[in-house]
Amino acid sequence: MLDIKFIRENPELVKENIKKKFQDAKLPLVDEVLALDEENRAAMTRANELRSARNSLSKQVGMLMGQAKKDPSKLAEAEAVKAQVKANADELAALEVKEGELAEKIRKIMLVIPNIIDPSVPIGESDEFNVEVERFGEPLTPDFDVPYHTEIMESFNGIDMDSAGRVSGNGFYYLMGDIARLHSGILAYARDFMVDKGFIYCIPPFMIHGNVVEGVMSQTEMDAMMYKIEGEDLYLIGTSEHSMIGKFIDQIIPEANLPQTLTSYSPCFRKEKGAHGIEERGVYRIHQFEKQEMVVVCKPEDSMAWYEKMWRYSVELFRSLDIPVRQLECCSGDLADLKVKSCDIEAWSPRQQKYFEVCSCSNLGDAQARRLKMRVKGEKGTYLPHTLNNTVVAPPRMLIAFLENNLQADGSVKIPAALRPYLGGMEVILPKK
């Protein structure tokens, strides 16, 4: 969310940013919010004038009433001033109601106007215009057919989607045996990987209040993703970033405590509305999964350096598991409204002969901090910090990349050295079928 003062001083820049994001329907909101802001400031000025006059008029009434005891002719003058005090009080009460109504209208519009994107963001209307920046590792094509990921899992008796369908419906699964163990081992490895980078491990709440949801994401994202608990002001998190950033709501953070570098484990729950292609069957796009996340709260001048570090951590982790990846810069039309800059890390799929998303790294500037009223207290006063987040690993999608890239011709899956301690020293998983 932008500062209203920034919009007041830079309306054309804000409009140009909206155009760069191909959201022209939002252009009238800029003039609308500025008109409401002007009306609100006028109401506040008048209200302050009335408050200032209230004390002097009250003193004047007291003085005239005292004089009226000696000179009855002063009584009419005192009553006139008392009437003015009453009229002013009524006008002030009406203005205070108006201020509240205008402030709420302004807030709702401000939640919809997108954040200013970084100048380095490529301009494009959709993810088709995202730009490949760099590849890491050689994307290999094996000399044998790579089965669909659920077929690989089934060869290990590692997945049961039919039972999950009967229990929970589409978009759910049972992971079993060595595949379930591999799933947990990858999460544990990712946790320790980030702890070794100096991040503090955290297990956050898996449900959050509506004001936190509003603070961390746009209404569009919320409608598409979040499950609400019926009858309560609670939502199931779609990613632990939501509750991790929410941890700082209404807090003043001492500058000496920055940066806050946290890595969190959680289940994630997502509606995943809409139809998806054949390659998104199985466990690619599901309603429930587990995830290791990284979150940073830092000084504004440090956020781009942290952005660079964070996506490179993802690359390092995937390469340690023998998975080729690439970095893809997200274009303006593919950025969520709160994001300043974002990139995807995509893993190579030998089966599809293409890359697919496994991590998303984002710099949100001060947007979440402003919405959540997070502040930093420094030597020169208080200011808003910047917030960033990035996926460490999100199995089972990460399992797809792992299984395809480590599958061998005999149907076994080799275990890279980095992961073996988390699987009891196993060097290979052998199929059961």
pLDDT of residue 44 exceeding 70, the answer is yes
**94 and 159: one domain?**
no
Which pLDDT does position 275 carry in this prediction? 43
Which pLDDT does position 280 carry in this prediction? 54
CATH number at residue 36: 1.10.287.40
Name 218's Cβ contacts closer than 8 Å, sequence gap at least 6.
111, 112, 336, 337, 338
- 122 occurs within a structural domain: no
Which pLDDT does position 16 carry in this prediction? 98
- 117 occurs within a structural domain: no
- 116 occurs within a structural domain: no
Which pLDDT does position 290 carry in this prediction? 95
Structure tokens at 371: 């919405």
pLDDT band at 277; cut points 50, 70, 90: very low
**186 and 323: one domain?**
yes
**164 and 24: one domain?**
no
Separation CA 365–CA 115 (nearest Å) = 8
Range of the domain at 248: 127-429
Q: Which residues in 174-211 are b (16+ Cβ under 10 Å) and which e? A: ebbebbbbbbebbbbbbbebbeebebeebebbbbbbee
Which pLDDT does position 276 carry in this prediction? 46
**94 and 165: one domain?**
no
Q: Of 58, 85, 110, which residue constitutes the final position of a domain?
A: 110
| pTM beyond 0.85, yes or no | yes
Q: Of 79, 110, 141, which residue constitutes the final position of a domain?
A: 110
pLDDT above 70: percentage of residues in the chain: 92
**102 and 131: one domain?**
no
Which pLDDT does position 27 carry in this prediction? 98
Average pLDDT of span 229-233: 95
Separation CA 2–CA 114 (nearest Å) = 8
Q: Across the chain, which distance is largest between two alpha carbons, in Å? A: 112
Contact at 8 Å (CB) between 306 and 293? no
- 280 occurs within a structural domain: yes
Condensed to tens digits (0 to 9), the pLDDT of residues 63-117 reads 656 566 556 666 666 667 667 777 888 888 999 999 999 999 999 999 999 999 9
CATH number at residue 397: 3.30.930.10
**37 and 89: one domain?**
yes
CA 186 to chain centre: 24
Name 327's Cβ contacts closer than 8 Å, sequence gap at least 6.
132, 133, 134, 136, 311, 315, 343, 344, 345, 346
pLDDT of residue 268 exceeding 70, the answer is yes
Distances (CA, A) of 294 to 188, 194, 199: 14, 8, 8
How many domains does the chain fold into?
2
**186 and 254: one domain?**
yes
**84 and 206: one domain?**
no
- 115 occurs within a structural domain: no
Average pLDDT of span 37-42: 96
Condensed to tens digits (0 to 9), the pLDDT of residues 331-367 reads 999 999 999 999 999 999 999 999 999 999 999 999 9
Q: Of 110, 135, 158, which residue constitutes the final position of a domain?
A: 110
